Amino acid sequence: MTQGITQKAAAERLNSSEDFVRRMIQKGRLVPDEEGRLDPERVEDLARLLDRLRANGVGTVIGLIGEELGPEDRH
């Protein structure tokens, strides 16, 4: 892995919250190294995906669903 980035830096790149980054870690989409840093290439891949979804209006729908459902722990 190249030099990792912090969860805060990842959140900034993803234009999201650190809570979102933690959820992506829990889901295995992002994997921290031993120091808790994230692979910048994986963050960039996720950022491109989110950018495409937002450009197509999907981000708005996802945001609204999240507001309706409340906290992440909805099981």
Three-state DSSP class for 5? strand
Measured CA to CA, the distance from residue 73 to residue 13 in angstroms comes to 25
pLDDT at 57: 74
Residue 75 pLDDT greater than 60, yes or no: no
pLDDT at 1: 43
**Residue-wise DSSP of 30-43:** S-B-TTS-B-HHHH
| 27-66 tens-digit pLDDT | 999 999 999 999 999 999 999 888 887 787 766 666 655 5
Residue 44: how many other CB atoms lie within 10 Å: 14
pLDDT at 56: 75
